[in-house]
Structure 1
């Protein structure tokens, strides 16, 4: 498949780089921007440089809303878990206590660890005047219309048509 590398730049950027001789290079670049306590808006870009012009041609033909269907599914996979984990961490004393609140033994946990190190190092207390909302139901957390569609011009337009 080629070389794959994922990097995290604290506090808010993650990028995944996939390079192969056969397909070219594709990136997934995601910025998480806090908009309230326990809430963030993601900005994602997917720059690519394909070895052939054929994939680029088909990507240009694909409506933006269509790609959002699959991209949101990836985010929703962890939505419920993260929502409850955030409340658990707050009960345990917040980011400064994350190492005691959670066991993070794998390489996949590294970015979570790095984020909380950054928060502690810079004493970043976002929205200190706010408190987390009460725990939400799974149905509410996975309600794509309210979390995405009504805010996305591409998906809103597609829904109207």
Structure 2
């Protein structure tokens, strides 16, 4: 991967053998495609398949950013009519939350490190859990101006990390220009359950996820009611409608199945719409 363009507007990197590209558009947009750039925008008799990833990470306050992402494509569009949006959202939500706490703690501990390291996290092909921890600790010790002396970036994909750091240093002086700068800009680290809270940060803002949550809660209550109703039916119909051992076993199994399904659904709702602990330690 090589950097083809680099200026105040961002930079462009292309993969070898014309196998795709990534572009950073200052100050907050990153997009790319596994397809060559030459095929984009060309009108041909046969429409070529196109796929792109667009990611925007917008700093809104010290320690907080608004994330907007999209995956535009012209193939498999019919899947969007079959698979609901909330199902697609579970994957990215898990990706963001899985490293949210660790990345936040590392930035707080390395207060001299850049507050927009999320772009670096996305652009690197290394392990997203281990590498940011290693980098931010070294950045804090070496200082953002000497970041290149504190890390090891041997792969060609690291060219995007280098290009972003150079752009951030040259055009932003290695800091975000907040409207009201303070001596200690980064907020106090909240607890994990508050930092990784998902309902107010996404579900309440997303019509598809909020509608799915309401439907699943209603289904959970219905399953619990069904399990109680089945047990009540067994008590009333014992000796009349339900006479054999096999029939009683089937009714009891149905009640247990309904109750178990309601408990599984409750766990699913909690993990995907409220909070999911990814076993990151508090310290």
What TM-score, normalized to structure 1? 0.74
> Structure 1's 68 and 11: CA in aligned 2 closer, same or farther, altered over 3 A?
same
1:155 aligns with 2:209: yes
Please give the alpha-carbon distance, in whole angstroms, between the structure 1 residues aligned to 2:86 and 2:97. Answer: 17
Range moving further from structure 2, 120-129 or 87-96: 87-96
State the superposition RMSD in angstroms.
Answer: 3.2
Number of the residue aligned with 1:103: 151
1:81 is displaced (CA, Å) by 2.9
1:110 is displaced (CA, Å) by 4.0
Query: Which residue among 119, 126, 132 is the counterpart of 2:177?
Result: 126
The structure whose Rg is larger is: 2
Gaps of 5+ in 2: 1-17, 37-47, 113-139, 216-283
1:102 is displaced (CA, Å) by 4.5
CA contact (8 A) 1:65 1:158 kept: yes
Aligned residues: 154
Please give the alpha-carbon distance, in whole angstroms, between the structure 1 residues aligned to 2:157 and 2:201. Answer: 26
Query: Which residue among 44, 52, 72 is the counterpart of 1:27?
Result: 52
> Structure 1's 69 and 29: CA in aligned 2 closer, same or farther, altered over 3 A?
same
> Structure 1's 139 and 108: CA in aligned 2 closer, same or farther, altered over 3 A?
farther
CA contact (8 A) 1:17 1:27 kept: yes
Could you say which structure has the greater relative contact order, defined with CA pairs below 8 angstroms and 6 or more residues apart? 1
Please give the alpha-carbon distance, in whole angstroms, between the structure 2 residues aligned to 1:119 and 1:33. Answer: 14
1:93 is displaced (CA, Å) by 8.6
1:144 is displaced (CA, Å) by 1.7
CA contact (8 A) 2:142 2:150 kept: no
SS of equivalent residue, structure 1 residue 60 = helix
Gaps of 5+ in 1: none
1:60 aligns with 2:86: no
What TM-score, normalized to structure 2? 0.46
Residues 93-136 of structure 1: CA deviation (Å, up to 9, x unaligned): 99844606851414454444433333322235332247211123
Number of the residue aligned with 1:41: 66
1:80 is displaced (CA, Å) by 2.4
